[in-house]
Structure 1
Amino acid sequence: MEPRNQTGVSEFLLLALTDDPEVQPLLFSLFLSIYLVTVLGNLLIILAVSSDPHLHIPMYFFLSTLSFTDICLSTTTIPKMLVNLQAQNQSITYAGCLTQVCFVMIFASLENFLLGVMAYDRHVAICHPLRYMVIMDSCFCGLLILMSLLVSIVDALLHSLMLLRLSFCTDLETLYLFCEVFQVVKVACSEILTNNIILYFAASILGVVPFSGIIFSYTQIVSSILRMPSAGGKYKAFSTCGSHLSVVSLFYGTAFGAYVSTTFTHSSWKTAVASVMYTVVTPVMNPFIYGLRNRDVKGATRNLIRCTIAFQ
């Protein structure tokens, strides 16, 4: 049957992870394990930072916010994948798809801004150590988080509302394992030029500004570290940035890969793998990166586990 325009489309079809019924239980177990590790790992960081008074500083406040964002981003995508695997049904309602688009954009954009804010925090700590607590006071840190969240919400709502003006076809399939705005726009049957202009303009601005801030911050950081007289001071300064640089590389590397695959490839599986990398793999890796590389977080985590065992 020929596809026809249908403004009131009732559902979309998501890409199936596999058509082999024997592999589906393995994939279900894999994604369930990843989700549990993501939630528990990031929750452990939040509890460790909250329970240790020595970690009540801006650096770990931003880390806790990043962990909370990772939990929310994973919760937006993985549970629906698990439901589809269990039910062997790849459909998602029109309202559910738009809701998922909105929340994925909010939390992915918020993580993008948080990485920029954390780079600025390290810049102030290393380049202006004597003024660190004056510049990065609690009000200013809260304002940075609030502004990042507001911009992310406004951007997500704008694109979600722009999707409402589109009409879709009867034969629908998104190329991702979840509803992502670029892919939803692709399957529209109506004119999408305006949507694409706004999408690429917003992605360029909201992507380039935080990333440029990260580059500038680390340029200043490296310059300050090279001027330090002692090798011990240089090592300590570099060690405080190592975890953040690892997370930045992972997030922007996978996000750029997803963007390139969306724009230049027609392979649904390549696109699906790229989407999983930045929405599933990045959140599950962040607790390991900070937990294994940061001595303060490791110490606070051990103390929290000891207190929990002793309480029981």
Structure 2
Amino acid sequence: MKLRRAFKRSADPERARREVIDEAIGSFRETGEWPADLGKRAAKAYLEALEGESEYRALSEAEQRLRYEKEDIRDICADDALSYLGGRLADVLSEAKTAGAALDGVRNADEAIQAGGDALDSFRALTALLKDFENIRSAQWDILRAVADEDTRAKLRLWKSQGHGEVMGFRPDEVPPFVLDATQTQRYTVAYLVWLANVGTGYVPASLGELEADVMATNEPTAYDDGGRLVDISPIAVPIPTPPAAETYSHSRAAQLDYSAPTPPPIKPNATPGDPTPPTYIY
């Protein structure tokens, strides 16, 4: 790109040749003499302009092809780069957890200076780790933006402003206010770094798809029906009621399935038939 910008592009070859011819015609009008080397000068101007134009086009095409190759390499290596950042983050958080254990309640620089001793040393170590942490987060978002298309970049800006991409399973209503402020504004503090080191769920998304899946899992219900969120309509087990005894009448007879067997004894009636319903006539 620097070579192309520094290169002084020449005139169009046809235009360069016409300028030589126009100059010769102007000179002929004034002096009445026609230059004998007009053809050579016109050809020379054309060839020089053509050489400059070819060099400019070669630089432009090389720049474009290298840009495409760089984008391909970036897309191919993006997951590896994110994985590397995840390893660096794990190291930083491990050191921060160790250093944070010696703070003894210190929350800021003034309190660390007053406490002195191990608390001051730990605060200094955490301040240095905070710079590394900020660099990791900055690189993380740069990589994710680079591999995202235009629509996904808009989603990334929204997710980043909501605090996602730093704590797995992040829910804004379940974290302290200072944590929510740090994740949403990316203004990190020692207190936030110590909190993240101890909570155990800080991460660098391994890919754009993993980040999206984590956001969806924390923001969306797991299933829907036509009316909105899925309602559990699983059957409820209830006791089966005892059926009432069968009513038998004086005219009831026991069923006899095998007529070669003795006839069953008569059934003892336990009910009497009611009066029939009187008919209703419609005229």
Same fold (TM over 0.5): no
* TM-score, reference length from structure 2: 0.29
Select the structure that is richer in helix: 1
Q: Which has the larger radius of gyration?
A: 2
- Higher RCO (CA 8 Å, separation ≥ 6 residues): 1
**TM (normalized to structure 1)?**
0.27
